[in-house]
Amino acid sequence: MPASFSGSPTTHTLGFPRIGSSRALKWSLEGYWRSAGTDDDRQRLKQDAAAVRAEARHWHGEAGIDRPATGDFSFYDGLADLSLLFGQAPARFGDLPNDLDALFALARGRETATETVAPLAMTKWFDTNYHFLVPELDADRPFRLDAGRYLAQVEEALAENPAAKPVLVGPMTFLWLARGASAKTRLARAPALAEIYSALLAQLAKAGVEWVQIDEPVLGLDLPPEWLAAFDPVYHRLKTPGIRLLLATYFAPLAGRVGVLAGLPVDGIHVDLTTTVDIDALVDRLPAFKVVSAGVLDGRSIWRADLGGLLDRLEPLFQRLGDRLWLAPSCSLLHLPIDAAVEDQLPPVLAENLSFARQKLEELSLLARGLADGRVAIGEAIDAAKAARRRLDEQEGRVRGDRREAVARLTVDEPARASAYPERARVQRETLGLPRFPTTTIGSFPQTDEIRAARRAWRRGELDTSSYETRMQDEIATVIRAQESIGLDVLVHGEPERNDMVEYFGEQLDGFAFTRGGWVQSYGSRCVKPPIIWGDVARPKPMTVRWSAHAQSLTDRPVKGMLTGPVTVLSWSFVRDDLSREQVAYQLAAALRDEVIDLAAAGIPAIQVDEPAFREGLPLRRDRWGEYLDWAVRAFRLATAVAPDATQIHTHMCYSEFNDIIESIAALDADVITIETTRSNMKLLDAFADFDYPNEIGPGVWDIHSPMVPTTEAILERLELALAKVPADRLWVNPDCGLKTRGWPEVTTALEHLVEAAARLRGAHPGD
């Protein structure tokens, strides 16, 4: 290292989990929502939240992070906070001040005796599993700065660390993600919004802030040229005396954005090094006073970093940039659990290889030290990380020759069913003996308190396995009887034995592990605890066959087996980083393939492979879609192609649009696909109609997210709409999604209406 580089790179974070250890904020929020909402209740919630923030500051301090993020905390969601910060609550809420109850109104809607006000819509934050509240803009509601809550949070952090760095989602990202006005109208509002940001920045300057991080992850998307062109003028307006801006990009490669970024009137750029290979291209074009923040630790990976390998990458950058180099995780740590140190029930070889949010802080400061003082200064940590990883790599089950060979063999040729769909359909029509417009459900039936209690008791050892299994078999019998008496055509067993559609399979597969406290915020107070895929996946024994076979033994009607697809298991897990997602998907598919074989052999005539997360896996940039779709489709086919012609393969997807991926949906070659269409009033079917989708379709005709029971007439109307788009001999009748969150009375009535609607449809369209 040249002697001229004294000093060390600045360490900082882009954001931190806000749910608190042991999900403190969740419990506090939910307690508050149940309370009468008095000043005392609110005070308690605020204190709990302050403790969560204090804890995060403490950990940053302990690790010696120079510029911890602040202003990233939210009681529900950061985008909803921004809406209030800029006075952009939709008109239907009336005039909302920027306070807690306003935030909860945006998030949860408002219900009074006289009115129901719908909440903001929710959607996924880029390609993460975090869901944000979608801001709603209209053409003329003026921006109005109401910064009290935000400033209070920043001041609280500054009091402890004057170098704390406020974080804001940037104006272009805010406008791009918003709805309610056309893209053109939203873009036209950019100058006005920039003025408001600038006013806020001026207030931050007054509070003593030096650096502000502005997140523009939208730079990772395929933006129209006029949006890209708007960055420059907007950021000129943002320039505020006394404030230095760090513009943060993440989740996607810089490809094609270097020109836009290098010229922006900001003082630094944060780059996600986990997706950007060529950071030099940016450094080459950046004026020599600007900061480059290297997002070097993968902010979404739970795995301990290879410190030595990262230093290989950072050292040349540090040579070039000196203390203009900042170090950070690639993105906010929001997408990670808080602390791997609490995982005392995992095998030690796994536990020592985990790095959650707290561990990332430590790794970050180690890297900074390794650059400032040379590798020897952190030699022990480098070696320890390497040794831990070696132990994991050598762990039995990590690499299994038999699985690797099996997958290689299974993917030599494109997996395909024995016959093409028309021939299969003919065989299935004979064996299944279904009427026109067959009726079915998506899999789960109500998960009653009794079912959950039984599962909890069994897990705690208070209920023995055979009593538990008897309870589940009884529940299955109840579900079968109910479906028979309602008159459904293809029955399901109801999934009472499943707590979660991914965890249930993960627990029965080799290669998975489960944390105790690995919770990650999904939205608001809701968290998920994704399983960890750490080793090669294998299925030691059948997973669902006894339940499905039991169900089939109770009825003469066909029962549909129920599996979670490879892509969905992958998307909703933390995945190993030493094998491509593609290969892990194939391993999962190979395991599911064995299950399909066993289900078919047990006489289960139909098998549904759920892929609700199929679309989620799409890369942010379109030029990378093909590669993903190619292996995702192959994984699904690998799992299902082995089914005999007579076995009807179903798949199910929800929360999806299909227009731009319809070819891949067709390539799955499922005999039947059921989708969620009610809320779009069958609009989502257009993609299938326009494409002449060749196989059978069950467009959902009952919105199971709403407690409302649809009338027979309403269902019939939807079916008539569907019939205009789907040929009669390929149309199924079913709800939008599984019924596990609903209660029995509404389920029974709604399904009766659904069956009645199908019967009337048959009357109106008797066929030949």
Residues that bind ligand GLN (CB under 6 A): 442-444, 495, 501, 562, 610, 612, 652, 654, 737-738, 740
For position 575 contacting Zn ion by CB under 5 A, the verdict is: no
From the list Zn ion, ligand GLN, none, partner contacted by residue 518 (C-beta under 5 to 8 A by kind): none
What is the four-CA torsion angle of 422, 428, 431, 437, rounded to 10 degrees? -110
- For Zn ion, the closer CB: 135 or 612: 612
Do residues 619 and 628 touch, judged by C-beta distance below 8 A? yes
Smallest gap from Cβ 435 to ligand GLN, in A, equals 23
Taking CB under 5 A as the criterion, the residue among 169, 600, 654, 701 binding Zn ion is 654
705 an active-site residue? yes
- For ligand GLN, the closer CB: 685 or 737: 737
By beta carbon distance, the residue nearest ligand GLN is 738
Sequence-distant (≥ 6) Cβ neighbours of residue 765 within 8 angstroms: 436, 723, 728
Sequence-distant (≥ 6) Cβ neighbours of residue 172 within 8 angstroms: 190, 216, 218, 219, 227, 230, 231, 234
Smallest gap from Cβ 443 to ligand GLN, in A, equals 3
CA gap 243, 366 in Å, rounded: 29
- For Zn ion, the closer CB: 83 or 439: 439
For position 158 contacting Zn ion by CB under 5 A, the verdict is: no
- What's the token pair of residue 695? 């196989």
Smallest gap from Cβ 674 to Zn ion, in A, equals 8
Smallest gap from Cβ 736 to ligand GLN, in A, equals 9
Smallest gap from Cβ 441 to ligand GLN, in A, equals 7
Give 286-297 as a DSSP string.
Answer: S-TT-EEEEEEE
Give 133-166 as a DSSP string.
Answer: EPPB--SSPPP----HHHHHHHHHHHHH-TT-EE
- What's the token pair of residue 332? 């906010």
From the list ligand GLN, Zn ion, none, partner contacted by residue 444 (C-beta under 5 to 8 A by kind): ligand GLN
Smallest gap from Cβ 737 to Zn ion, in A, equals 3
Which x/- pattern, by CB under 5 A, does the window 673-712 give for Zn ion? ----------------------------------------
From the list ligand GLN, Zn ion, none, partner contacted by residue 639 (C-beta under 5 to 8 A by kind): none
- For Zn ion, the closer CB: 71 or 698: 698
Residue 213 pairs in a beta bridge with 167, 246
From the list ligand GLN, Zn ion, none, partner contacted by residue 740 (C-beta under 5 to 8 A by kind): ligand GLN
Q: Is 523 helix (H, G, I), strand (E, B) or coil?
A: strand
Which x/- pattern, by CB under 5 A, does the window 461-500 give for Zn ion? ----------------------------------------
From the list ligand GLN, Zn ion, none, partner contacted by residue 78 (C-beta under 5 to 8 A by kind): none
Marked catalytic residue, from 131, 550, 705, 765: 705
For position 737 contacting Zn ion by CB under 5 A, the verdict is: yes
Expressed in angstroms, the distance from the first to the final Cα of the chain is: 83
Q: What are residue 337's phi and psi, to 5 degrees? A: -65, 170
From start to end of 242-290, where are the E strands?
Answer: 244-248, 268-272
- What's the token pair of residue 236? 């000129």
- For Zn ion, the closer CB: 654 or 666: 654
- For Zn ion, the closer CB: 354 or 654: 654
- For ligand GLN, the closer CB: 587 or 734: 734
- Which residues in 589-618 contact Zn ion (CB under 5 A)? 612
Residue 598 CA: distances (Å) to CA of 188, 411, 604, 635, 671 = 59, 20, 9, 18, 19
Q: 178, 13, 189: which is closest to 82 by C-alpha?
A: 178
Smallest gap from Cβ 739 to ligand GLN, in A, equals 7
Q: Is 595 helix (H, G, I), strand (E, B) or coil?
A: helix
Q: In this chain, which stretch among 309-317, 637-645, 713-721, 733-741 interacts with Zn ion, using CB under 5 A?
A: 733-741
Residue 215 CA: distances (Å) to CA of 229, 258, 382, 419 = 17, 16, 31, 51
Which residues would be at the binding site for Zn ion (CB under 5 A)? 612, 654, 737
Residues with catalytic function: 705
